[in-house]
Amino acid sequence: MPHLWTPAARVISPRPPEPAPTESGARPAALLRGEFTARAAVRSARLLVTALGVYELELNGTVVGDHVLAPGWTSYRHRHRYQSFDVTALVHEGRNAWGAHLADGWYRGLLGFNGGTRDVYGEHTGLLAELRVEYTDGSADTVGTGDGWRWSPGPVLTAGLYEGEEYDARREQAGFSEPGFDDSAWQPVEILDFDTTVLFPADSPPVRRIQHLAPVSVTTSPTSRTILDFGQNLVGRLRIRVRGEAGRTVTLRHAEVLEDGELCTRPLRHATATDRYVLRGDPAGEEWEPRFTFHGFRYAEVEGWPGELDPADITAVVLHSDLRRTGWFSCSDDSLNRLHENVVWGMRGNFVDVPTDCPQRDERLGWTGDVQVFAPTAAFLYDVRDFLRSWLRDLAADQGDDERRIPPVFSPDIPVITPVPVPPGNPPMAGWCDAAVVVPWVLYERYGDTEVLRAQYPSMRAWVDAVDRIAGPARIWGEGFQFGDWLDPTAPADDPGRAMTASTLVATAYFAHSARLLARTAGVLENEDDSGHYHALADAVRDAFIARFHAGGGRLTEETQTAYALALCFRLLEDDADRAEAGRRLAGLVAERAHRIGTGFLGTPLVCDALADTGHVGTAYRLLTQRSAPSWLRQVDMGATTVWERWDSMLPDGSVNPGEMTSFNHYALGAVADWIHRTVAGLAPAEPGYRRLLVRPLPGGGLTWARAAHDTPYGRAEVGWHREGGTLHVDVLVPPGVTALVELPGTDPMEIEPGRHSFWAPFPQPHGDARGSGSGRPSHRITGSPDQCKEHT
Ligand code: BGC
Give the DSSP per-residue string, 566-616: HHHHTT---SHHHHHHHHHHHHHHHHHTTT-----TTTHHHHHHHHHHTT-
Half-sphere exposure of 453 (CA within 13 A, CB side): 23
- Check: CB of residue 598 under 8 Å from CB of residue 585: no
Distance between Cα 408 and ligand 1 center (Å): 13
17 upstream amide cis, omega within 30 of 0: yes
Residue 645 is among the residues annotated as catalytic for this protein: yes
Which residues, including other chains, have CB under 8 Å from residue 508's CB and lie 6 or more apart?
471, 475, 476, 477, 478, 541, 544, 545, 548, 549
User: In testing the pocket of ligand 1, which one of 367, 414, 494, 662 has its CB within 8 Å of the most ligand atoms?
Assistant: 367
| Pairing, β 164-168 against β 156-160 | antiparallel
Task: Specify the residue with its C-alpha closest to ligand 1, atom 8.
Answer: 357
345: left (phi over 0), alpha (psi -120 to 50) or beta: alpha
Q: Is the alpha carbon torsion for 330, 609, 434, 603 positive or negative? A: positive
- Judge: domain 11-204, CATH 2.60.120.260: yes
What CATH superfamily is the domain 209-321? Answer: Galactose-binding domain-like (2.60.120.260)
User: In testing the pocket of ligand 1, which one of 358, 486, 494 has its CB within 8 Å of the most ligand atoms?
Assistant: 486
- Comparing C-alpha atoms, which of 230, 223, 279 is closest to residue 254? 230
- Comparing C-alpha atoms, which of 597, 583, 604, 602 is closest to residue 628? 597
**3-state secondary structure at position 513:** helix
- Check: CB of residue 523 under 8 Å from CB of residue 531: yes
As a whole number of Å, the end-to-end CA separation of the chain is 30
- Check: CB of residue 72 under 8 Å from CB of residue 189: no
Can you tell me the distance from the alpha carbon of 90 to that of 166, in angstroms, rounded to the nearest whole number?
30
Can you tell me the distance from the alpha carbon of 440 to that of 462, in angstroms, rounded to the nearest whole number?
14
Pocket residues: Cβ below 6 A from ligand 1:
357-358, 363, 367, 369-370, 483, 486, 661, 666
**Residue 779 has what pLDDT?**
86
400: left (phi over 0), alpha (psi -120 to 50) or beta: left
Distance between Cα 715 and ligand 1 center (Å): 36
Can you tell me the distance from the alpha carbon of 111 to that of 359, in angstroms, rounded to the nearest whole number?
12
Vertex 112 angle, CA 347 and 23, to 5°: 115
Can you tell me the distance from the alpha carbon of 612 to that of 248, in angstroms, rounded to the nearest whole number?
61
Torsions phi, psi for 93 (to 5 deg): -60, 140
Task: Specify the residue with its C-alpha closest to ligand 1, atom 4.
Answer: 367
Can you tell me the distance from the alpha carbon of 520 to that of 249, in angstroms, rounded to the nearest whole number?
60
Task: Report mean pLDDT in 10-residue bins for the chain, 793 residues.
Answer: 80 79 85 98 98 98 98 97 98 98 97 89 97 98 97 97 98 98 97 97 97 98 98 98 98 97 94 97 98 98 97 98 98 98 98 97 96 98 98 94 86 70 75 98 97 98 97 96 93 88 97 98 98 98 98 97 98 98 98 97 98 97 97 97 96 91 96 98 98 98 98 98 96 98 94 97 74 68 59 31
| Pairing, β 739-742 against β 692-695 | parallel
Can you tell me the distance from the alpha carbon of 77 to that of 266, in angstroms, rounded to the nearest whole number?
33
Ligand 1 atom index nearest CA of 483: 12
- Residue spans of beta strands (DSSP E) within 183-322: 187-188, 190-192, 199-201, 207-213, 217-220, 226-242, 249-255, 257-259, 262-264, 274-278, 286-288, 295-303, 314-321
Distance between Cα 317 and ligand 1 center (Å): 27
Strand partners, 32: 100, 151
Chain centre to alpha carbon of residue 616:
31
Check 165, 166, 301, 363 and give the catalytic one.
363
Classify domain 682-792 by CATH number. 2.60.420.10
Distance between Cα 496 and ligand 1 center (Å): 9
**Residue 424 has what pLDDT?**
61
Residue 165 is among the residues annotated as catalytic for this protein: no
Which residues, including other chains, have CB under 8 Å from residue 296's CB and lie 6 or more apart?
233, 234, 235, 254, 256, 349, 358, 359, 360, 361, 663, 665
**3-state secondary structure at position 230:** strand
**3-state secondary structure at position 462:** helix
- Comparing C-alpha atoms, which of 510, 485, 507, 505 is closest to residue 497? 485
Distance between Cα 530 and ligand 1 center (Å): 33
Give percent helix, percent strand, percent coil of the chain, each to the nearest 5.
25, 30, 45
- Residue spans of beta strands (DSSP E) within 625-749: 683-685, 692-695, 705-712, 715-724, 727-734, 739-742
Can you tell me the distance from the alpha carbon of 427 to that of 408, in angstroms, rounded to the nearest whole number?
7
The fold adopted by the segment(s) 327-677 is Glycosyltransferase (1.50.10)
Ligand 1 atom index nearest CA of 409: 5
Task: Give the Å distances, CA to CA, from 454 to 97, 389, 396.
Answer: 45, 12, 13
Which residues, including other chains, have CB under 8 Å from residue 565's CB and lie 6 or more apart?
586, 599, 603, 606, 607, 609, 610
Domains 11-204 and 209-321 share a fold: yes
Ligand 1 atom index nearest CA of 368: 10
Task: Specify the residue with its C-alpha closest to ligand 1, atom 1.
Answer: 357
Domain parsing of the chain, residue ranges: 11-204, 209-321, 327-677, 682-792
